[in-house]
Amino acid sequence: MTHSTARSSDAPTTGTASPRPVGPARFTPPTPGRAPAAPPEYTDEEVLRQPLGYWTGAASEAIVGFISDSLARGGVRQPHWWTLNRVREAPRALTRDEVVEVVGASRPYVDVSDLGTAVDELLERGLLAAGDAGALDLTPAGDALVDHLWQEVMTPTLAQIRAGMSDAEYVTVVRLLHRVIRNVGGDAGFRP
């Protein structure tokens, strides 16, 4: 059983079988080699009048869409990626229901309603195997896919998202978002 990798995830695995189509993407990334139109420059006073909810929603949609598109090119959807990583990282083998519970608890703002289907698809593709009492484990193909996706898909995807941003700026942005969520009574307790 493989339960030792110290990565948290949102990325998929690869197997020997050809990836199945994963459905339409919600976000179309810019054409490579063509920069998107430059956004208008706003004064500080103009920014202070702009709705934070709009900008956080726009950022969320763009980021999640970019990650989803990247994972789709790797042959998986985010629910597959979450499942593969949780199974890999768990200190003990998890059942289908436990995977759904663990992922749902770690991502309070994410719709996890199709995680059970994702588990079934990963079993069908030979990326997960069910053992005694339904305990799930990565197959060698599943383990290889997770490694591939981290190295070839998620690492460059996450680097693109953070391009031009220092570690200190990233930490500041995330901490400020945590504060905003707590200010409005939300759950800022993302658990990797």
Q: What is the per-residue pLDDT for 145? A: 97
Cα–Cα distances in angstroms (integers) from residue 172 to residues 26, 92, 107, 178, in the given order = 28, 34, 21, 10
Query: pLDDT band at 26, cuts 50/70/90?
Result: very low
Instruction: Name residue 101's amino acid.
Output: E
Average pLDDT over residues 36-49: 83
With a CB cutoff of 8 Å and minimum separation 6, the contacts of 148 are 13, 14, 74
What is the helix (H) or strand (E) element at residue 128, kind and residue range? strand 128-130
99 with 119: CB under 8 angstroms?
Answer: yes
- Domains delineated in the chain: 52-183 (1.10.10.10)
First to last CA, the chain: 21
26 with 61: CB under 8 angstroms?
Answer: yes
Of the candidates 66, 55, 40, the one whose C-alpha atom is nearest the C-alpha of residue 176 is 55
Q: How much is the mean pLDDT over the chain?
A: 82
User: Quick one: CA torsion of 110, 115, 121, 125, rounded to 10 degrees?
Assistant: 70
103 with 96: CB under 8 angstroms?
Answer: no
Of the candidates 93, 99, 94, the one whose C-alpha atom is nearest the C-alpha of residue 117 is 99
The Cα 52–Cα 133 span in angstroms is 47
Which pair of structure tokens corresponds to residue 94? Answer: 């998890």
Tens digits of residue pLDDT in 128-166: 999 989 999 999 999 999 999 999 999 999 999 999 999
Burial pattern 99-133, b for ≥16 Cβ within 10 A else e, equals: bbebbeebbeebebeebeebbebbbebebbbeeee
Coil, strand or helix: which one is 94? strand
- Say yes or no to pLDDT of 126 above 70: yes
| pTM of the full structure | 0.73
Tens digits of residue pLDDT in 89-114: 998 999 999 999 988 888 777 788 88
Tens digits of residue pLDDT in 4-19: 333 334 433 333 333 3
Q: What is the per-residue pLDDT for 41? A: 84
